[in-house]
Structure formats: structure tokens, C-alpha cells
Chains A and B, each alone.
Chain A
């Protein structure tokens, strides 16, 4: 052999700084993987905790997302993606019913339907009054709707407990909420009287027949709510106006664009989105964001502590080796990166495993549905489902990886800068 090809110490001079080729990065990564495998039990515990933490965050976040999506859909389905009315209707209390109602509804509907994203426009008359069975009168909150269109567009948004849903062309019929029907001892076929102020301020009464009894799932609402067809409501209030128009779009995502276009096309009117009226949605979202945000923070801190602890033990055990690597010419920066890569391996493995667990649980909940008990103020339960959102998964996995890398680098920062002599003498 000939080891004398070059003068001693005169290797091709290595630049002090150089870009890291892919093969170098791969080599460091391989080194990191091998180091994490030194103490397999410790690494397994670390990866498992990172996996459980990631899965917990993804499942909690997925549940929150599913809840937000469900509530958003319900809100949009209840009011329409957009609600068009007079500006005062959204800002002031009316002195008489439909004081700020819309006239010439047919022309407005035609204008709105001209937008390519608009699928349906549903008129609505909202008012309050009294409902009586002759012996007993109680307060009602009434909604006059176009029954055929309403049920066609919204689908089965009411749970019919008795009788049938309203149909267009059958004036003088109403649907009662479960609690209201019970209070008035009413059933399908019962005759009731509606009393309300007209748009002129006079009192008017109208006899109606109960078509059906429904439940919205919110007992407080079911004690007061009455559905009747639009023509009957307008007859009671002696008007041709409607309170507002619910605009139903092709998708939830089209809301903002359609709002801008419609607001520009109808400058004299106000256009609100479903979100503007979704008080419950906003309350739930705010609450869940805080609860699950805090949960995520706690889990993140736990994962950081676990990774930090595992890396701290590994670094103490390998202090002498760190001294050797430093003596051989490894820079503190290279060693810090190497330990950060170990954090990446531990945190990344845990995060990917956790994502797999969360995905499996989410799919299992679709295949084997679980119904949650009714929340406070509701009478019906809801399916426990977990949304699988790419953004949530990506962000969580990335956060776990970055936290693990930063934690590892932070733990290593002092040892890699220890005097080489001191590190080599470490026992």
C-alpha cells in the first residue's frame, strides 16, 4: 500500500464553511437514528409519549373541528349562508312587525338568483305573538316560511314527532314545537288561534290547524316555536312584506365572495353572513379553542419535558464521546445539529405514530359510531366524530418535530461547548 500520496496534514484543504450536500445530511440523520437506538427502551418510552401526545392533540383538535364544521353547517342551513334585509332590521328593534321588512320580494329573489353561486332564496317572516287553544294562551315565536322550498333546501332539519311537515298551498296550518304542543295540549288536527300585531299596530287573530309537532333538540326553543306557511303569516300580519331573505349558496366557502357581490348589487340592503348570526357557533368555538388550546399546550409541554429528559440522560452518558468527536474536529454547531436530529427522530417518529393512531381512531368512529349524551340545554345527543384535517395533522406533526428538535438542541448546548479536555475526562 502507499499511504504517502500526499504530504502529511496536507489533505485537499477543506473550506471552513461549506454547504451540506444531501449525502452529508443523510449521514448525520443516520448517525442520529443509530444514537436513538442505543437505549431502545428509553427511546421507545419517549416515542410512545410523543405519539400519545400527538394523538391526543389530533383527536381533540379533530373533534373540535368536526364540531365547528357541524355547527357551521347547521347555522348556515338554519339562516342561509347569507341573510339579506334592510340595514335597520339588523340594528334596530321594530316598533311594529315587519317595520323594516322587505317589499317586492319576487324581484329581489330574481336578482339574487342571478348570481351563479346562489342556489335558493328563501323568504322568511319572523314575528312574535300569542297562541291559544281557547282555554290557555301562551307566547309564541313564529316563523313564516315557504314550506316546500324550505324543506327541499334544508332537508329534514326538524325531527317530526307527530303529524306531517307543512306543505305549500295549504294555508292555515302550523307546526308546533314539542313543548308548546304539550303546553297547549295540542296534537295534529287540533284547532288553535294565533294572535299578533299587524304591521299597522292593530291586533289580529287567525284560526289555524296543527299539521305536525316537531323537536329542534333545544327544549327552550321547542316551548315557543311555531312554523307556519308564508302566506298565513302575511295574512295574520296583514302585509306582503317579509323579514329577510335567506340566500343558500353552493358551498360554505362561497360565502364571502357572494356576500361582496350581492352587497355591491343591492347597496340599499344589508347582507349578513351565517357567521354574523351564529352566536352559538361563535360561543362554542371560543370555548373549545380555549379548552383544546390549553390541552395542546399542556401536552406539548409534557412532550418537551419527556424529550428533554431522554436527551439529557443520553447526553450525560455520551459526554466522553462528545469530547472524542470534538477532539476529532467536530464543531459544537455540528454536534448541536446532530442532537437536534436525534430530537427530530424521536419527536418525528412519535408524531407520525400519533398521527396514525389518531387517523385509525377517526376511521373507527366512522365505522362504529358512538353517540354522545345531549349537551346542556339540548334534548338530543350527537355523534362522536373526529375530523381528519390535513392542516391540523401537518401543523401538529411539524410542531412536535420542531419542539423535540429545539428541546434536544437546548439540552445539548452546554455539553457540546464543554472544554474538550473536560468532556474527555467525564466519567
Chain B
């Protein structure tokens, strides 16, 4: 890749992160470098404790590195305050969680609408965009349902719709298929890839799922907080 940092959605340079668990020191990230391009789907894999989740947290601006640089769309963000980080997450970063993390008291439509509501998009446009993205994930008929009335796969599709409705530059997905059966996992992964490409949103996906790895443009293997291997993989349709 020869892209400048301005063209990159995300760039990490020499990122370190250490946790102190009592007297035990955990070096979660040890000098990680990473670049993510618009529309790219990058998989993070590695054994448990390899630093995948920490890397996602740092990339998603919900955690700060101890050392190193994090650039989001060319802007240094590793030292920004919580308020600015919140605004950046609100405006430009989507999240897909392993356990969906939908708001149970909200309907499907309200869950998807919530990020737009936060950004101050007008009600009419919100309605239109929510309907559009729910159609795209195949849940238009479930707009008025509560999450607890949906299957796991449907819930994850709602979570994807919620992540993408604001047309973010980056989507952070932490084990998005871990709670799903294989068939549903395939559907969800295809959906993420299809919509991500359609929107030009970059995906940073932590996963152990081999199917997910095959669907990603690149795979980075983390081990002990370091990048072990990085390989470009073609999408297997």
C-alpha cells in the first residue's frame, strides 16, 4: 500500500498498550502498525489474549494507547479528549458487538435510528434512511419489533444496520459471528461485506471464524500484542 495517511481511514504507528492487573502487567499491544483503507475489510485474528480486542478498542477510540500514534482520516486522535472522541465515534465510527448490544426497550427502527438521532439528522431524513438500511438488511418488516422478538441473526443484522446507518468511515466489529450458527454467520458476513463495500466503509473485524477470514480483504494475525503475519487474501465468494 502506498496511500498517504490522508487517504487512509485509520493508521496505527507503534501503538503500545499495557494493563496492570494487580501486580501483573499485561502488555496487550507492543508496537502495532496498521493501515486501513476506505472500503477495506481487515480481519484481526489470533489466540485469546493476543490483543485483538485492545486493538479494536484503540481503533474505535474507546481506549487510548500508552504510546504510539493513531490517525483517523489523517488526524492524530490518540491524544484527543473524551469529548472529542465521543463526537468522532458518534459521527464516523460504527460498532458491531459479539452480543449485538441492542437496546432492549427500543424497537428495531429506534435502535437503528439512534445514531442518526444523536448526530442531529432531521426526523424525515432519519425515517427515510432507517427504512432504507432496514430494507438492505432484510428487516423492513421487523421495524416495529423489539430485539427480544428477533433471532440471533436478525439481531446482528439490526446491529449492522445501526452501525452503517450513519454512513461511517470505519466499522469496528468484535467477533460479530461468534454468537451465530454457521448459516446465519455466513449471511451476516456477506451482508457486512456487501454493505460495507457499497458505502465505502472500512471494517476492522476481530474474529476466529475461518469463514469470516475468507471474506476479508486482508488478515492480520496478532500474537502477544504484536503482528505475527499479515497477508492479503482475496475474497472468496
Contacts and interface: CB of A to CB of B under 8 A. Distances in A.
Contact of B118 (A23, A37, A320, A330): A330
A78 B28 CA distance: 86
Nearest to B100: A324
Given A3-B195, A3-B198, A16-B87, A9 B105 contact: no
B183 interface: no
Contacts of A3: 132-133, 136, 164, 167, 195, 198-199
Contact of B169 (A4, A8, A13, A34): A8
A24 B167 CA distance: 21
A16 B60 CA distance: 19
Contacts of A329: 86-87, 89-91, 93, 115, 118-119
Interface residues of B, number: 48
Interface in A355-408: none
Contact of A421 (B39, B62, B120): B62
A91 interface: no
Interface in B59-107: 60, 62-63, 73, 83, 86-87, 89-93, 95, 97, 101, 103-106
Nearest to B95: A327
Q: Which of B63, B162, B200 has its CB near the most chain A CB atoms (within 10 A)?
A: B200
Contacts of B169: 8-10
Contacts of B9: 8-9
B198 A4 contact: yes
B105 A34 contact: yes
Contact of B121 (A11, A15, A38, A320): A11
A424 B200 contact: no
Contact of B63 (A11, A27, A331, A421): A421
Interface string B31-75: 000000011000000000000000001001011000000000100
Contacts of A24: 117
B218 interface: no
Interface residues of A, number: 39
Interface in A287-305: none
B118 A34 contact: no
Given A27-B117, A329-B118, A419-B62, 16 more contacts: A9-B168, A14-B91, A14-B120, A15-B120, A18-B120, A23-B123, A35-B105, A38-B104, A38-B105, A324-B95, A324-B101, A326-B86, A328-B162, A330-B86, A421-B63, A424-B97
25 contacts: A1-B136, A3-B198, A4-B198, A6-B167, A8-B9, A8-B38, A8-B201, A9-B91, A11-B121, A14-B119, A14-B121, A16-B87, A24-B117, A31-B106, A34-B106, A38-B104, A321-B101, A324-B97, A326-B86, A327-B60, A328-B95, A329-B89, A329-B91, A329-B118, A421-B57
